[in-house]
Amino acid sequence: MSADHVSTAYDRVLYPSSTFPETHPNRLATVAYLRGLQPAPVNGCRVLELGCGAGGNLIPMAFHLPDSEFVGLDLAQRPIASGQSFAAKLGLSNLTLRSMDLREARVDELGHFDFIIAHGVYSWVPQPVRERILGICQDMLNPQGVAYISYNAYPGSHFRDLARGMMRFHVSAFESFEDKLGQARGLLKFISESRMKPDYYVEAIRAEFGRVSKYIDAAFFHDDLNEVNQPFYLYEFIADAKRYRLQFVGEATASDLNLEKLTPEATKKMAELEAGDAVIFEQFKDFLVATGFRRTLLCRAEIDLAPDLVLERVRQLYLMSDAVRVEGTGTGDSNHLFRRPRGDEVATTDPLFAAALDFLSAEYPRSVSFEKLVQAARAAAGSQSETRSAADSTGALEEALLKAYHAGFLFLNAYQPEVVNQVTERPATSKLARFQLARGNFATSQLHVSHEFPDPFARQLVVLLDGTRDQAALTRDLIEFAKSTGDPIYENGVRVTNSDELPHAIGRRLPPALASLARAGMLVG
């Protein structure tokens, strides 16, 4: 059926348009490269996104990678029209968004692609469409191409299925979008509070109620109340992929298996499994951590993949980490402790690895080459790292960095994004970010991460960062903005009520606000 004659639920209720960092070609190319592939250069590739919606994920890619080509397909017409309009305002000539039934997508019309993305689609479409998604990957992937397919996974999704079945039964008696959402959440709340002493069943429902309470309404409507929502065990998904001559490359996100939480026996068994078949290891990992969502990468079956991540290839990549040293650690012979913003920690007694993390932290959000990192780390560690030869210390650092990457503590990149890590005399953010904040509260960084700016002051600051104003001019224009709009200005969580204090408050708030934007990867050169 032609998309010209189809009205979908996604036309009636627009799905929130957002970015997904794990789908970026940089992420896909890095994982593939470490398994032995030779993926296309990130800044010169062809990318296809299936189920692209309004292009919230694809438009920032096209903007930041002008020498690459992007094609997005979606059955729903309203989102496509919205994305086309926004892309036209940005002047993007390397992006095509089309309303199309995925079953009608053909290689002779669309061509071949280096990267194919299907995020949040596979589990939510009927089986014939799922089959066609795999068929598109088989037909349209270039020889060294990489496909990304996300899907709800078992065993974690059994809890979601439990709640979903009851919610769908209950809301079938209601017509409106608002009623369905309210009744679905209300049902879970009712069950979660129904026992004087909760048992394991009620605790499971209570956890699901906590999840859906935080869900954006439109996403909750489409993801949980959709007619189709089919999770898969990893082994089931890979078996289906093999029928289309596709094989498992890895996951787009880092391992979430925290060995420190496992018993010695479980740790030993997982180490044995990790040395064998990757799919079996990943499946048992899912059993241990109750994985509920997967972001699986595939390539052509004829590719001879390396059995594990290729250590030597780390030297050809760029490294990035937002971890900072925990104050007071690393003195004398004590551990050097580093912590990421979300709370993950790594401790090391190796002064060279510690110096490398210090350097990456200072450079963040810029990524640096392995060679530059080694030089900086050796210079900083000095005599502390001279107990080993240069070759041995470099090899040990390489292994430590790869282990940290595997655990999600730092990032490896096949491509070095153009990002500024310091506030310049006339700071600037991208045209994309300024356009996005003219339409809503979210803007995309150079790192393909979406940041929310709910504060009018913060939004206006980003809009003013067109590279023509120094900090004095920014302060002046922000004062005028505050006076003209009457929007409240807060300092340290306290509202500034005295108009005479306004210039001083904005002047004090501006430098840390700019520094925060730099750390978030929002500033450009």
Each residue's pLDDT tens digit, 337-351: 999 998 888 889 899
Each residue's pLDDT tens digit, 459-507: 999 999 999 999 999 999 998 888 888 777 777 777 776 777 778 888 8
- Per-residue pLDDT 10s for the chain (525 aa) are 344 445 788 888 888 888 999 999 999 999 999 999 999 999 999 999 999 999 999 999 999 999 999 999 999 999 999 999 999 999 999 999 999 999 999 999 999 999 999 999 999 999 999 999 999 999 999 999 999 999 999 999 999 999 999 999 999 999 999 999 999 999 999 999 999 898 999 999 999 999 999 999 999 999 999 999 999 999 999 999 999 999 999 999 987 777 777 899 999 999 899 889 999 999 999 999 999 999 999 999 999 999 888 999 999 999 999 999 998 777 655 789 999 998 888 889 899 999 999 999 999 999 999 999 999 999 998 766 555 666 678 889 999 999 999 888 999 999 998 899 999 999 999 999 999 998 889 999 999 999 999 888 889 999 999 999 999 999 999 988 888 887 777 777 777 767 777 788 888 889 999 999 999 999 998
Q: How distant, in Å, are the alpha carbons of 470, 473, 495, 499, 503 from that of 480?
A: 16, 11, 17, 12, 10
Per-residue b/e over 206-235, b at no fewer than 16 CB within 10 Å?
bebbebbeeeeebebbbbbbeeebbbbbbe
Q: Is residue 275 part of a domain?
A: no
What is the C-alpha to C-alpha distance for residues 427 and 39, in angstroms, rounded to an integer? 34
Q: Are residues 125 and 241 in the same domain?
A: yes
Looking at 205, 224, 243, the residue that finishes a domain is 224
Q: Are residues 168 and 148 in the same domain?
A: no
- Structural domain count of the chain: 4
| Backbone φ, ψ for residue 296 (5° rounding) | -95, 140
| Backbone φ, ψ for residue 99 (5° rounding) | -85, 115
Q: Are residues 236 and 207 in the same domain?
A: no
Q: Are residues 408 and 502 in the same domain?
A: no
Q: Is residue 266 part of a domain?
A: no
Q: Are residues 164 and 134 in the same domain?
A: no
Strands (E), 351-429: 368-369, 411-413, 428-429
Each residue's pLDDT tens digit, 381-415: 876 655 566 667 888 999 999 999 988 899 999 99
What is the C-alpha to C-alpha distance for residues 43 and 416, in angstroms, rounded to an integer? 10
Q: Are residues 208 and 240 in the same domain?
A: no
Q: Is residue 286 part of a domain?
A: no
Each residue's pLDDT tens digit, 411-436: 999 999 889 999 999 999 999 999 99
What is the C-alpha to C-alpha distance for residues 366 and 519, in angstroms, rounded to an integer? 9
DSSP three-state, residue 3: helix
Q: Are residues 510 and 385 in the same domain?
A: no
Q: Which residue has the tokens 């899907």?
A: 151
Q: Are residues 114 and 195 in the same domain?
A: no
- Record the pTM: 0.93
Q: Are residues 45 and 186 in the same domain?
A: no
Q: Are residues 454 and 495 in the same domain?
A: yes
Q: Is residue 198 part of a domain?
A: yes
Q: Show the domain range for 190.
A: 157-224
| Backbone φ, ψ for residue 322 (5° rounding) | -100, 10
